[in-house]
């Protein structure tokens, strides 16, 4: 298992301000509603719903909002959202995967295509870049969960495949189909995780300079502003100093 993350700069998460908090909650609620509609409305009986609820809690989403999203699915008055994945290349040849939940495919496809085009990239067919990524489970713990050695040991015992630790915390990876078992085993030893979710992890990365990195981050922000877009993944690699400068 690797102890240092070569991918830690790949998924950019800009600091959440109060102005975008409601948008974030809206996206979390949409995922909860879809998960509840696809299975049982009880998180204990529905693994996807359990992950969605845990992620909402990790973002401090109020319990009332979470329950309202579940009730919306149970009441049958929710929109019919479908999952769509878009792929393509952004600035500097960086590969992008965009996950969306939409009730209007044409609208979402048009918006995502525009984001690619405005950023100097191009949207491709489904599967055009997915081969460069791996679908895995990602479990994140804060640094307070323990030192790198203790977390590594707990992860190995839980059946995880990789651990990447630094001063900001610990990111544990496992096979996609093992998310529930691994996260459950880790919780018994390390406590509740900060987040548990399925992600697209790059298998290869594309190094970019400061100028291209800035363009990539702007494209990610542009996509993230769309209400239908749930997650954005990109395989760019940039040094810590440049990332810190651009994220300031």
Give tens-digit pLDDT for 21-43. 778 888 999 999 999 988 888 88
Residue-wise pLDDT for 196-235, tens only, equals 888 999 999 999 999 999 999 999 999 999 999 999 999 9
Angle, alpha carbons 199-93-8 (nearest 5°): 40
> What is the mean pLDDT of each successive set of 10 residues along the chain, which is 248 residues long?
44 50 86 89 88 86 92 75 94 96 95 96 94 95 93 95 92 93 92 89 92 93 93 91 79
Strands (E), the chain: 82-89, 95-102, 122-124, 133-142, 162-166, 169-175, 195-202, 206-207, 229-234, 236-237
pLDDT value, residue 18: 52
Domains and CATH numbers, the chain: 18-74 (1.10.10.200), 81-248 (3.30.70.980)
This prediction has a pTM of 0.85
Alpha carbon distance 145, 134 (integer Å): 26
Sort strands 122-124 and 82-89 into parallel, antiparallel or unpaired.
Answer: antiparallel
């Amino acid at each position: 298992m690797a102890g240092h993350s070569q991918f830690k700069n790949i998924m950019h998460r800009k600091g959440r301000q109060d102005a975008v908090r409601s948008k974030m909650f809206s996206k979390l609620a949409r995922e909860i509603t879809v998960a509840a509609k696809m299975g049982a409305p009880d998180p204990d009986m529905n693994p996807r719903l359990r992950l969605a609820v845990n992620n909402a809690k990790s973002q401090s989403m109020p319990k009332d909002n979470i329950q309202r999203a579940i009730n919306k699915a149970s009441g049958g008055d929710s929109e019919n959202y479908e999952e769509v994945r878009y792929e393509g290349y952004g600035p500097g040849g960086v590969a992008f995967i965009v996950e969306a939940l939409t009730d209007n495919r044409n609208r979402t496809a048009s918006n995502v295509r525009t984001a690619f085009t405005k950023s100097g990239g191009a949207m491709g067919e489904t599967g055009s870049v997915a081969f460069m990524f791996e679908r895995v489970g990602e479990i994140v713990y804060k640094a307070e969960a323990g030192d790198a050695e203790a977390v590594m040991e707990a992860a190995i015992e839980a059946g995880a495949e990789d651990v990447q630790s630094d001063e900001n915390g610990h990111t544990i990876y496992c096979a996609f189909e093992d998310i529930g078992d691994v996260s459950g085993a880790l919780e018994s030893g390390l406590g509740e995780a900060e987040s548990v979710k399925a992600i697209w992890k790059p298998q290869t990365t594309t190094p970019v300079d400061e100028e291209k990195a800035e363009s990539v981050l702007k494209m990610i922000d542009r996509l993230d502003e769309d209400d239908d877009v749930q997650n954005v993944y990109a395989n760019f690699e940039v040094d810590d100093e440049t990332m810190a400068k651009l994220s300031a």
